[in-house]
Structure 1
Amino acid sequence: MLDFKELSMDGTDLERLVREIFVREGYETHWTGKGPDGGRDLLVIEKVQGPLSNFERTWLVQCKHKAYSGKSVGREESQSLVTDCKSAKADGYLLVCTTPLTTGLLTTYKELQSNWCGTQRDMGTGNSSTQKMEIDNNPKGRLLMNSHKENHVN
């Protein structure tokens, strides 16, 4: 089982880990500037090539590392979500967190998903146990986590 407390308390290891996962999966990634919480957001470019068309989708990825405090990620974490996505010209949003989301934040995300600018947009929401399971069950995720532990020992 993945223990998020093995990552640095300031969240930079989580940000790097998430970026490494996207890079290893073939996505183009770019850092944004530091946010109000001191963390950096990640822009992930998804290049879709289909039989009928090719297009790109930009995802704003935010990481919230609260494993040490154990606090849930709450509604206050999303106060600038729409503004952040518009500023980054992002088509979608993904939140990666190490603790569960509050029901208030889940409700906010569901409302945003159904009402976002009057168009259909993709928004990824989940909780840390789902993400842990996905990383733990994915052989690439296990290898990446082991590599991350070896390269970022305190």
Structure 2
Amino acid sequence: MARFNFKEIASAKDGTGDIDQFEKFGKQFFESVLGHKIVKDPGRGADGGIDIRVKVKINNGFEYWLVSCKHYAHSGNSVGRGDEEDILDRLAEHNCDVFVGFYSTIASEGLFQKLERLRINKKIK
């Protein structure tokens, strides 16, 4: 199994290097590795809670994925509930079907439970 050292990707917080590198990596992953179409590229500044919008062919139709990128490898912090607020509102606002957390560290137990409850209640996939 391939292992990645996400600390090799510049931190967006310290202002050195390419601070957009992790989101660019995410775009390349969904586009080049998974073969999906990117319909909203990462951008700098207020993004309304969406970093990348992906169009995915599903059977005879399409789904749109809202990708939220969080790069906390340098701090080692998990991605918490407070880092992913208003998931359902963000899906509706951006006309997306699926929420994807693209993280360089693990989700906190609180965030994992929140996502699991939303999934069980058929609010997200």
Both structures adopt the same fold (TM-score exceeding 0.5): yes
Shift of 1:20: 0.8
SS in 2 for 1:9: coil
**In the alignment, is the contact (CA less than 8 A) between 2:23 and 2:42 conserved in 1?**
no
**In the alignment, is the contact (CA less than 8 A) between 2:27 and 2:52 conserved in 1?**
yes
Question: Aligned-residue CA RMSD in angstroms?
Answer: 2.2
Of Structure 1 and Structure 2, the greater helix share is in: 1
**Structure 2 stretches of 5 or more lacking a match?**
13-18
SS in 2 for 1:71: coil
Residues 1-150 of structure 1 mapped to structure 2, 5 A cutoff? 1-10=3-12, 12-24=20-32, 25-29=34-38, 30-31=40-41, 34-35=45-46, 41-48=51-58, 50=59, 54-117=60-123, 121-122=124-125
Size of the aligned set, in residue pairs, is 114
* Alpha-carbon distance in 2 for matches of 1:109, 1:56: 22
Shift of 1:28: 1.0
**Structure 1 stretches of 5 or more lacking a match?**
123-154
Instruction: Check 1:90–1:32 CA distance in 2 against 1; reply closer, same or farther (3 A cut).
Output: farther
Identity of aligned residues (%): 27
User: Looking at CA atoms only, which structure, 1 or 2, has the larger radius of gyration?
Assistant: 1
In the superposition, the TM-score normalised over structure 1's length comes to: 0.66
AA matched with 1:74: G
Q: CA-to-partner distance for each residue in 1:77-100, whole Å, 9 max, x for gaps?
A: 121211111111100011011111
In the superposition, the TM-score normalised over structure 2's length comes to: 0.80
